[in-house]
Structure formats: structure tokens, C-alpha cells
Structure 1
Amino acid sequence: MLPRTLPEPNLFLPAQGEPVLRWGVIGAGWIAGFFVDAVHAHTAQKVVAVGARVSTRAESFARAHGIPTAHTTVDALLDDPGVDVVYVAAPQSEHLSLGLRAIAAGKHVLIEKPLATNAADAQRLVDAARGAGVFLMEAMWTRYLPQTLMIRRLIDDGILGEVRSVISDHGQPLADDPNHRLLQAGTGGGALLDLGIYPIQLDSMVLGEPSSITAVGSLTATGVDATSTVVLGHGSEQSTLMTSILTRTPTVASICGTDASIEIDGPFHIPTAFALRSRDLFEEPVVWSDTSGVALMDGLAWEATALAGYVGAGRAESPLHTHAETVSILATIDEARRQLGAL
């Protein structure tokens, strides 16, 4: 039988001894705006500067989000001694170059997902950060949400029994604009790097690195992956993960064990709820909901507090999303894209 009450997860709550870091933001797009607003509203961290390729965009972004300093160039931000950590929110084709520059400047770095557009470039970032002695983390915000911490605890406590499979999808119709960055070949375009990374990282968190990868799907006219179904083998077990930039899908996830399963409501990668279901078809499920009050994109705040705590503890990487796992997930995506023939 299922436990009728669930334990409380240990959340990344602010002002629990983590240092107050001074953040600089590279990029002035929509995700940067959500991140800054979340940090200001729900953490003890301070966003003190922004830099962008176009100085006027940095200035307007600073005004809109209450940031005291708008640098006219990215180099000026990286040279700012008042910045401790840099959040890279530029297009993913620029993650490698901007990340390397931030590391060389001696800054801790949080890079929007994906860390880089392939596993080899991600490893370059990891090696550079290790050599410079700075903290590096991919902004896989889902890993730090309350629901994920709760799910980890249930798995660690053996409530699910032996986990056998992950079933998940993530689809959004993002290919209508022919100039959209996701349709551009060679710059990190396609569904897998932008959306499919969420189901794949969930499978990785639960079951680890796959022993086999099989991908089928379709390409856009520009040669990037439009849809894919990826089957990841884990010994004798398989996980099924689907993604698309052509249509909206439920964007839900199931973690299936021998004793119980977890069904995460959609969109599963943002603050949400889940049902813990018994192997008994007729037993009433136990429902858990995020009651933190940190909803929707404000959930980006959790990763900022987590990073500050890790830096304060002298860590070089996130124990919940290590460098090795980050590279491994991108290697899985590399292979799936290779099988699809994506550019």
C-alpha cells in the first residue's frame, strides 16, 4: 500500500546561510527577464548588471527589471569587479564562446540549457571551469524545483520499488516562423536540444546513462529535427521519450516502478503536481502539489539559490546535476540527432 502522507522535501529556501552573490546577466531576451524577476522576487541574490550585444537593449532591459548597471559591451560586464557570477542567457549557439569568456574572467557561471550544442563543447566548458577553479552549472531549473526534490526522495526511500521506465513528452508548436532560431541548422536548432532535453534529463536523473539509444522522427526543410521518439535502453528496460516543435503535446511524465509509479502533471518541467499511484489499479492515488507559492517561471529562482549555496560550500559543480551527467545527456542528444540525420 502507498503511504498516505508524504515527507516534506528539503527546499532551496533563501537566506539559509548561502552567500549573497552579485549577478551579471548576458542577454536581454525573454528568459533573462523571467530569471531576473524570479531572483528579485524569491531569493536573497542580487542582479547588479546586464550586458548585451546591443547596448540599447541592455539599457532598456536594466530599466525594465530594476538592474542598476547596463554595460555597453559583454566584455565590460565580464571585466566588472562587482560581478561574482554570470548568467548566460544568450542563444545556445553562443553558450560555448560566452561561457569560456566568463570562465576566463574568473566568474562563476550559470549557462542556460543546453550547456552547449554538443557534448564535446560542453566538456570544453567543464575542463575550462575546472582549470580556472570557478563554479559552472547548466541552468536545468527543473532539477531544483520542489516536485523534483520530492520525487528524488520517494525514489531514494524505495517507495517505487525498482524503477523500470520513464515515459515523457515535450512538444510546442515553435516552427511557424521561418526565421525562428530553432529552425536554423548548425546553431543548436531543432526540438531535441531545446525541448527534448527535458524528458532526456528526467530519464538520466532516474535511470542514469542509457546503454542503447534508438531515435526515429522527422526533419524540417532546414534540416533540423522537428519531431522524434527516442527509446533509451537501460539493460533489459526501456524508456520512451517524445518531442516536437510542430505541435503541442501533453508535456507530462511518468516514472514507473515495480511497486508504484509517479505521474507528473503537465507541463512537467515547471512547478506542478504529481500523483503517486500504487501497482494496485483500484487503490486511491496520493496527490502532491507544489504549495511553495513560487509558480510558473518564478520557479527559476530555485536554481539561483541552489547555485549560491553550492558556491558558498566551495563546490565546483551541482551534486544534483553533475558535469559528467550534463555532458552525458548531451551525448545522448548528439546520438539521437545523428540517427535522425539532423544538421
Structure 2
Amino acid sequence: MPNKLRWGVVATGGIADVVTGDLRLLPDVEVLAVSSRALPKAEAFAAKHEIPRAYGDYKDLLADPDVDVVYVATPHVQHHEVTRAALEAGKHVLCEKPATLTLPHLQDVVDLARERGLFFMEAIWSRFNPLTVKLREVVAEGAIGEIRSVRADFGFTLEHDPAHRLWNRALGGGSLFDLGIYPVSFAHMLLGEPETVAAHGSLVDGVDAEVGMLLGYPGGETALLASSLVSPLLSRAAVYGTRGLVELPGMHHAPTAILVNGVEHRAEIEGAGYVPQLREVVARVKAGEVESPSISHAESLAILRTMTKVADQVGLGYD
């Protein structure tokens, strides 16, 4: 394996632009190639980020023998197709969340990655934020006692436009899979997979405009979560224990500060915030590992099981 891992970026949208910028901050990474369905877009993206190779089809990028790792940033509905093709081509994969929209598709790529001995991870970047790491540490140390309840939401108002990917069912739209995955992942990180799931929401054009979720656990613990495209939710989180609480006062998926029993903790955020996640991928690939303990294959499957139950209850279910 070369000293520098050579990455290929599939798609050129907003998230690909930001993550590629952070990729270029890592000294042991070379962003070698990018693809888009429109070659001029790939060429413009390549020029912006000083990427030497641009392709008009992701299959051409996957056929490039010099690409070691593929970052999949396509619309949700294409994640399974592109991830499977990348693994079949012998590439390691970091795929934007949700890694797939259905459990059979996620199990398929997990099984394939393990069979081929290739790294695969769902890009839930919030897990690697230094303050999220700090949160896990203080909880493990018993700073707030036993966790009894978690509250988290993420939402904003987005003008209804059937062509926009978040309002377009054909592109895997809706608040749950794009925004709600953060609160659900947050609850899973702290309490594990729930025993019961209750959800209610509203649909527009076949996708969820908003969802409220109540997750229940065997010991009586609860998680109250929400996502929305029609209300400006505070996007905060709180973890309540028997001896105190941790508050994430703003944008809990990308915190810049947390309060542990009223005491503020801050940390330096590298780049746009994706650097720790990308560094983790590089380290695990170089170590020959197929997954990260911070967001393991089993946990991605558990999160998607919860989200599938929510989707089915609000009438969103994807085939």
C-alpha cells in the first residue's frame, strides 16, 4: 500500500466539495480522481481542488487502478449501487449517510466488504467530533450517573420544491434519512438499539416533512427525537442522568461546545469538521481493518433498523 492513500470522489455536490476540502488537509492522502455524470462538472471540481483526473462516469473512476479509497457522495438512492460496485472493484469505501435506504442493501455491502477484506464505513462524521468523543468519555466516567433520557432534534425550514433532492422521493428525500439520522445515531451511541419505537409525522409528495420519535429501552430509559423540513428546530441535544446532565447547546451533530453539569468544554475543530472522520478511515485502511469501532457495521445496521421502523410507521418505507 502506498504511503499516501489515493482517493476518488464520486459526485460533485455540496457535501463532496466540503469533504474534499478537508481530505486535502491530510498529509497522507492524495485526492486523485473525481467523477460526475456530467464531465464538465467533474472537470470544474477537479480544477477547484487540484485533482489530476476527472471522469464522466463513476464506473470509469472505479476502473482506475490507482484509486485506493472511494468516497461516495451521490444522492441516497445511488449509495448501494455505487458502494457495491466500488467494493467489487477492490476499493475501500466511505459512503455518505445513510449508507443505504434499506436493510437488505446495507447487509449486502457489509457482507461484501467483509468477504473481500475491504474497509467500509457509513460517514456519520459526528461520531468523530472531539466534543462528541469527550461526551462519551464523561458519560463513561460516571459524571452524570446513569443515563435515563436523551433529547435530540435536527431541522430547518426548506421551501417546498419537488425538484429538490430533500423533497424528491425518487432521490431518497425526506427529513428522516437526511437529518433524522443524526438524532437517531446520537441516541444509539448512548443507549444502544431501542426495544420499542413509536413515530408520528407528516408526508409531502411521498416523503416525510417532519417526524417525531420516542424510543424505549428495557430499563425504562427513553430517547425523544425529531427531524423536520418545515420547522426551525433548535437542533440541540441533552443527555439526562441520575446525577446530572450534558447539554449540546447548538448543532449537536457538529458541536463547538458542550456543558457537563454546567461546566463548558470546548475543542479545536479541524477544517470543516470532517478531518477526524477522514483520519480514522486512513488509519483503519492502513491497518488492514474492515470497519471502525466508532461506527461499526453492526451499529450502522442497528441504526437503520430503528430508522426503518420509524419510516414504516409514518408511511415513508422505501423498497
Q: TM bucket by the smaller chain?
A: over 0.9
2:250 corresponds to:
266
Note the C-alpha offset of 1:174: 2.6
1:89 corresponds to:
73
The answer to whether structure 1 residue 216 and structure 2 residue 200 are counterparts is yes
Native 8 Å contact 1:45 1:305 kept in 2: no
Change (3 A) 1:49 1:271: farther
Native 8 Å contact 1:138 1:326 kept in 2: yes
Classify the secondary structure of the residue corresponding to 1:189: coil
Relative to structure 2, which stretch is displaced further, 86-95 or 119-128? 119-128
2:279 corresponds to:
305
The answer to whether structure 1 residue 202 and structure 2 residue 179 are counterparts is no
The answer to whether structure 1 residue 135 and structure 2 residue 119 are counterparts is yes
Q: 1:144 aligns with which of 128, 135, 139?
A: 128
CA separation in 2, counterparts of 1:122 and 1:19?
Answer: 30
CA separation in 2, counterparts of 1:119 and 1:190?
Answer: 18
Higher relative contact order (CA closer than 8 Å, sequence separation 6+):
1
CA separation in 1, counterparts of 2:27 and 2:229?
Answer: 33
Query: What residue identity is the alignment partner of 1:233?
Result: G
C-alpha distance after superposition, 1:52-90 (max 9, x if no partner): 111111101100111111123211211111111000001
2:311 corresponds to:
337
Query: What residue identity is the alignment partner of 2:51?
Result: I
Change (3 A) 1:241 1:293: closer
Relative to structure 2, which stretch is displaced further, 307-316 or 84-93? 307-316
2:264 corresponds to:
287
C-alpha distance after superposition, 1:168-192 (max 9, x if no partner): 1100223432211122225421110
2:210 corresponds to:
227
CA separation in 1, counterparts of 2:165 and 2:58?
Answer: 21
Alignment size in residue pairs = 315
CA separation in 1, counterparts of 2:3 and 2:264?
Answer: 35
Native 8 Å contact 1:175 1:182 kept in 2: no
CA separation in 1, counterparts of 2:27 and 2:75?
Answer: 25
Question: Normalization by structure 1: what TM-score?
Answer: 0.89
Classify the secondary structure of the residue corresponding to 2:64: coil
Native 8 Å contact 1:227 1:244 kept in 2: yes
2:155 corresponds to:
171
Instruction: Give 1:1-343 correspondences, 5 Å limit.
Output: 20-41=4-25, 44-220=28-204, 222-235=205-218, 236-277=220-261, 285-290=262-267, 292-294=268-270, 298-343=272-317
Unaligned runs of 5+ in 2: none
Query: What residue identity is the alignment partner of 2:156?
Result: Q
Change (3 A) 1:188 1:198: same
Note the C-alpha offset of 1:219: 1.0
Classify the secondary structure of the residue corresponding to 1:122: helix
Classify the secondary structure of the residue corresponding to 1:81: coil
Unaligned runs of 5+ in 1: 1-17, 278-284
1:7 corresponds to:
none
